[in-house]
Chains A and B, each alone.
Chain A
Amino acid sequence: MEMFTWLDKPMSGMTFLNMALGAVIVLGFILGVVTYTIYFERKVIGWMQWRIGPNRVGPLGLFQTIADVLKLLIKEDIVPAKADRTMFLIAPIIAFFPSFMVLAVIPFSATHIFTAASNVGVIYYIALSALTIIGVVLGGWASNNKYALIGGMRSAAQMISYEVPLAMSLLAVVLMSGSMNLVEIVEAQKNFPYVWYIVPQFFGFIIFIISATAELNRTPFDLPEAESELVAGYFTEYSGFRFAFYMLAEYVYVFAMSALATTMYFGGWEGPFLPGWLWFAIKVSAFIFFFFWVRATMPRIRTDQLLSFSWKVLIPLALLNLVATAVVMTLV
C-alpha cells in the first residue's frame, strides 16, 4: 500500500512507475464500479417501478452488465456515410479522457492512497470536466444528424450554464476550509465545530446537488438525450464500443460527482468506528442511490425553463450564498 501514496515523494523513475501502475489499478477499479453502478441503477429503478429488473444472467442477474458490455465490444463499429469520419471517431475519446482524469484528485481513503493532493484540486475537477463538453458537441456535430446536433447543442448550453452555480457553491466550501486541496478540505472538517460542511453549507449543498444533477445530464435534466423527442441525443449515431465510451464517461462522472460531493460536504473518508475507505464507499453509494432515486421520481424539465432556471435562480442564489459565507467568515 505504501507504494501507492505519492504525496511527499520525489518524482523518480520508481515513483513514476508506481503512478502508472496506480492509474491502471484505478482504471480497473472504476470499470468494476461502473459495471455494478449500471446493474444497481436497473435494479433500483425496477424496484421503484414495481418490476424485477435484470435477473437472467448469473445469480440475481449479476452478470447482466458484463454481458451487455461484451456485446457492445464485439459489435461492428459503424460510421455513417455522411458523417465527418475523423471527428466522429475521436469525439468519444475526448469525452471519456477527462472523466477518468478527474479521479486523480479524489481522496479515497485516510491513508491518501491513489491521491494527488494538488493544491488546486477543486479547480482541476471543474476545469477538466468542462473538456468533456467538447467531446459531446463534437460527437453531435460529426454525426451529421439533426437529433444528434440538437442533443449536442443542448448539452453544451446546459453544462456550461450549470457549471457556474456548481463552481460557486463549491467556492463557499473552499472559503470555509481555506484551501482548494481536497485532502485538506477533508482534514478541515475534523477541526473545530466538528461538523461536516453539510451543516453550515446546507443552502450551498442544495444548489450544488441541483447543478450536479444537471451537469451529469440525469433526469430531470436529461434533455440532451431525451429519448421521447431526440431518439438518444448526441450519441444517436454511435454504436459498438464508441457508444460504450460515451456511456462509460457518463457513469464515471456519476461516481466522480458523488465522490466530490462526499469530499466537499460529507467529510470524505471521515467517520467513527469503520475504516476510512469503507466510510467513503458508503457515502458515495448513498449519493449514487440518490441520483437514481431522483431519476425514478421526477419528470423531465422543459427546455425553455432549463436555462433561465440556472441563470435567473441558481446563480443569484449561489452568489448570495458565497457573499453570506464570506461575511460570516469575517465576523466569526
Chain B
Amino acid sequence: MFSGFAITGQSVAFFLISLFVIACGVLLLSLRKVMYMAMAIGGVFIGVAAVFLMLEAEFLAFIQVLLYAGAITIMLLFAIMLTRHDEVEMPQKLTAHPVWAAIGAAGLGFIVLWAVKFSGVKWPTPSAESPWQGEDNVKLIGESLFNQYVIPFELVSVVLIVALVGAITLAKKEEE
C-alpha cells in the first residue's frame, strides 16, 4: 500500500513537524484558558512555517512567521487582554457530539487518503529539467507578482485597504 516509502531525514522531520502541528491544534481545542489557546495557535503557525521551509518555500515560510506567528498572535493576545483576559471555558456536558465528530473526521481522512493514493491522480514530480530548478524563489515570486499578476495583486491590496478603513469607520460609529 505504501511501497516506495523511504525513511530519510526529510520524512522524519516531516512527521515530527506534523506531530507538533497536530499536538498544538489539539491543545487549542482542549485547553480551557483563552491565553493558552492563543499560544497554541501560535505553535500551529510556526509548525506550518516549518512545513513550508521543508518544501523549499523560504519566502512563504518567513512571511508566515512574520504575519501569523508574530503579528496575528500578538493581535489575539491584545484582543484577549483588552476584554476578559481571565476567561475560562466551562467543561461541557457529555453528549453524542464527539462520536459524530470522530466518525466525520475519520471519514474525511479516508476520502483524502483515497484521493491521494488510489484514485489514480497523477501528481507532478520534481525533475532536474524543471525550468526553475535551483533558482532563487524570492526573485521568481517577485517577477510573477509584478509582471504577470500585477493587476490582481494591486486589486487585492485595494480591497484590503478598503476592508481596513471600513473596519475603523464601523468601529468609530459604534463608539459614538
- Show the binding face of A for B, using Cβ within 8 Å: 11, 84, 86-87, 118-120, 123-124, 126-128, 130-131, 133-134, 137-138, 141, 149, 153, 156, 160, 180
Q: Per-position contact with A for B111-145: 1 when CB-CB < 8 Å, else 0?
A: 00000000000000000000000001110000000
> Of the candidates B35, B63, B70, which one forms a contact with A87 in the assembled complex, judged by CB atoms under 8 Å apart?
B35
B58→A134 contact, CB < 8 A: no
A138→B85 contact, CB < 8 A: no
> Can you offer 23 A-B residue contacts whose CB atoms are under 8 A?
A87-B35, A87-B36, A119-B58, A119-B136, A120-B58, A120-B62, A123-B62, A124-B62, A127-B70, A130-B65, A131-B65, A131-B69, A133-B70, A134-B70, A137-B81, A138-B35, A138-B77, A141-B77, A141-B81, A156-B74, A156-B77, A156-B78, A180-B138
Interface contacts beyond A84-B35, A123-B66: sample of 7 additional A-B pairs, CB < 8 Å, sorted by A: A87-B35, A87-B39, A119-B136, A119-B138, A127-B65, A131-B70, A149-B81
B39→A138 contact, CB < 8 A: yes
Q: Per-position contact with A for B63-92: 1 when CB-CB < 8 Å, else 0?
A: 101100111011001100100010000000
A130→B70 contact, CB < 8 A: yes
B77→A126 contact, CB < 8 A: no
A120→B77 contact, CB < 8 A: no
Which range holds the interface residue count of chain B? 20 to 34
| B residues near A127, Cβ cutoff 8 Å | 62-63, 65-66, 69-70
Residue of A nearest to B85 (CB): A141
Chain B proximity of A325: nearest CB distance (Å): 16
A160→B74 contact, CB < 8 A: yes
Beyond A87-B35, A119-B58, whether A130 also contacts B136 by CB under 8 A is no
Beyond A84-B35, A141-B77, whether A134 also contacts B62 by CB under 8 A is no
The answer to the question of B20 belonging to the interface, with a C-beta cut-off of 8 Å to chain A, is no
The answer to the question of B4 belonging to the interface, with a C-beta cut-off of 8 Å to chain A, is no
- Residues facing A in B131-162 (CB within 8 A) are 136-138
The answer to the question of B47 belonging to the interface, with a C-beta cut-off of 8 Å to chain A, is no
Tell which of A127, A149, A156 has the most Cβ of chain B within 10 Å.
A127
B137→A119 contact, CB < 8 A: yes
The answer to the question of B98 belonging to the interface, with a C-beta cut-off of 8 Å to chain A, is no
CA distance A10 to B35 in the complex (A): 42
Tell which of B42, B69, B74 has the most Cβ of chain A within 10 Å.
B74
CA distance A133 to B63 in the complex (A): 16
| A residues near B71, Cβ cutoff 8 Å | 130, 160
CA distance A87 to B85 in the complex (A): 14
Chain A proximity of B47: nearest CB distance (Å): 14
